[in-house]
Every structure is written in C-alpha cells, then in structure tokens.
Structure 1
Amino acid sequence: MAEQENLLYRLMNSVIYVLDAPVTYVREKLVVPNQKKYPWYHQQYRRVPTIDECYMDDMVCYTEADCQFKRDKEVEDQILFILRSRYEQCAVYHGEDVHLCDPIRKTYDDAAVAWFIKYGEMGVGLNAKNAYMKQKHRMIWERRHGPVGTGMKQQPNNA
C-alpha cells in the first residue's frame, strides 16, 4: 500500500513538474529580467522646469512646462473625481446620516477650492503661462486687498 501511495505521489509530482517547469522558466528568464524596476503601475515622468524658470526665448522649455502643467491638471482632476466618488458612496451608504460623511466632504471641498484657485475660469487658454499669470495677479491682489473673498481693505485717506 505504501508503494502505491509513493507511486501516486511521484506520478502527481511529475505531472505538476511538466506543467510548471515551462511557466517557471519563462517567468524567471524572460519576464522578471525585463520588468521595469520602479514600484508604480503608471508611467512616471521626470519633473521639468516650471514656466517661471524658463528663459523668454526658450520654446522647448515652454512646451515642456506646458505639458507638465497639463499632466498635473489631469492628475488633480482624477484626485477630485476620486474624492467626489468617495463622498457620494458614503452618502449613499449612510443614507439620512450624511453628517457622518462630513470629513470626506470637507476634504473634497478643500481640494475643489484649491483646484478652482489654480485652474478655474481659465477658459480656452489653459496653459502654464496663463496659470502663472493668474497666480501672479492673485498674489498682487492679496497683497493689496487681503485674501480673496474677504472683501477689499479700505484705503486710508491721506488727503
């Protein structure tokens, strides 16, 4: 009886080996050596200089900065989409107890405000240079009048 179990055991091992050996060989010799060595599942681009670091006549730098800007916008769009989806799923799950989702809603609102500050009301001319100018104008406004949305500071009368 022990010989039959031994024989059956050896037979199953040989069948498994015949099926597993080519798969293991292909994985170890072809797949693993050709894998990319970074742990991300998406392509990582190197960071390029931003638009404020480019010379005025360097069109290649302008183009790279604009492509980087558009990639960053797509990432931030997806972040907003995920945050909004999480809030909606929480609201559906909790039903009438939506107040349990307030931390998620606050996170989404903060991210939406930050997105709007950077990209909002840009219209068709959405590029790195226009976004940089928008940021510059906002900083000048805040220096003169205080944070946007708090109303204008009263100018002292020096007359």
Structure 2
Amino acid sequence: MPDPNPKNSFAAFSEAIVSMIDSPVTWFREKVVEPNRKQYPWYHQQFRRVPTIDQCYTDDYVCIFEADQQWKRDKMVENEILSIVRARFEDCVLYESPDHMTKCLPFKEAYERAAENWFIKYGDLGATGKARECYMKQKHRLLWERRHGKVGTGMKDSKSAVSTEE
C-alpha cells in the first residue's frame, strides 16, 4: 500500500511509478480474473484423470511423470480408505468388547479384504515406488496366476497343467 504522505520528493516519485505500474494490474485481477474464477475449497480439488503408465510411450517423460503423480494421489486416497476402515473396526472392538468377536466380524472381514487388496497393488514397492513398478508387479502377478493358479493356493503340478507341446 503506497504511503499517502511521502517523506521527500524521491519517495513521492517512486510511489508514483509503482502506482502507475501496479494499478492496472491490480484492477485487472480484481475486476476480471477473480470474478470469473471458479471457487473450490482446497480439500475438494479435483484433478483430471491422466493416461495410465501403460498408455504412455516409453520416451514421453511428461506422460510418465503425470502417471506417477496420478499413481501417488491414488495411493494416498487408498491409504486413507484403509485407515478409515481400520478405525471403524477398532472402534467397534472398543465399543462392543467382550462380544467383539461376533459383532465386529463384518468390520474385520472388510478391513482384511481392503488390506489384502492394498497389499496386492502397493505392497513390497517401498516408499519410492512408482507407477511403472506397480504396473510390472501387477503384470507379473497376472502371469503367475495364469501359469500356476491363484497366488497362495500353491503351484499346479506338471501333470495337471496343459501341455503346449502337443
């Protein structure tokens, strides 16, 4: 804010120059930009969905960067979902104990299912995981399940597997 009563002529001159440059910019922002801007609360910011890592070319670094950022946002959302489901289960246990083994069973099953799905997608990637590593993990899991059956059920024996040599 310019000083209304400058101390000397140099201060008055510098205030006039600043005012001459700043006034049109301030007027344009207050009268044109701000009235036409959509107001969103910061906690409801919506990002557009970008192409996933499998839709990016190998030399398109901007697309890869956007896919990584989208993957990180998705991971943060799924972390919060898992945290909420866990909190619901823990609240049920606190509220319903000593009968929590029967009354909280749906919450426990929901939490275990959510934790399993989270681990399938994000587990073993570490803190510096990226979209490409996650994609490769899912691809390797798909190939394993195609060859050996569902993960955790043991490997198929070679006699029951369909032979491709025939």
Q: Structure 1 length normalisation: TM-score?
A: 0.73
Q: Which contiguous aligned blocks of 4+ residues in structure 1 show a shift greater than 6 angstroms?
A: none
Alignment of 1:22-101 (within 5 A): 36=39, 41-98=43-100, 99-101=102-104
Out of 126, 131, 143, the position equivalent to 1:128 is 131
Q: Deviations over 1:103-150 (max 9, x none)?
A: 111111110000000000112440000000000000000000000000
Q: Which residue, out of 139, 144, 149, partners 1:141? A: 144
Once the two structures are superposed, what CA deviation does each residue of 1:23-49 show, in whole Å capped at 9, x if it has no partner? xxxxxxxxxx976379x9521110000
Q: Provide closer, same or farther for how the CA distance between residues 81 and 56 of structure 1 changes in structure 2, counting only shifts above 3 A.
A: same
Instruction: Write the distance in 1 (CA, Å) between the matches of 2:55 and 2:45.
Output: 24
User: In 2 relative to 1, CA 69–85 (structure 1 residues): closer, same or farther, beyond 3 Å?
Assistant: same
2:138 is aligned with 1:153: no
Query: Equivalent pairs: percent with the same residue?
Result: 55
Deviation string, structure 1 residues 5-36 (Cα, Å, up to 9, x no partner):
xxxxxxxxxxxxxxxxxxxxxxxxxxxx9763
Matched, 1:103 2:106: yes
Higher helix proportion (structure 1 or 2): 1
**Offset of 1:156 from its aligned partner?**
2.3
Name the amino acid aligned to 1:131. C
Q: TM-score w.r.t. structure 2 length?
A: 0.70
Q: 1:37 to 1:67 in 2, by over 3 A?
A: closer
Matched letter for residue 92 of structure 1: L
Q: Which runs of no fewer than 5 residues in structure 2 stay unpaired?
A: 1-35
Aligned equivalents of 1:60 and 1:95: distance in 2?
52
For structure 1, the residue ranges without an aligned partner over 5 or more in a row are 1-32
Report the aligned-residue RMSD: 2.2
After superposing the two structures, state which structure 1 stretch, 46-55 or 121-130, moved more.
121-130
The letter for the 1-side match of 2:93 is A
Question: What residue identity is the alignment partner of 1:126?
Answer: G
CA distance in 2, matches of 1:121, 1:37: 36
- Take 1:149 and 1:110, find their aligned partners in 2: how far apart are those partners? 15
The DSSP-based 3-state class of the residue aligned with 1:78 is helix
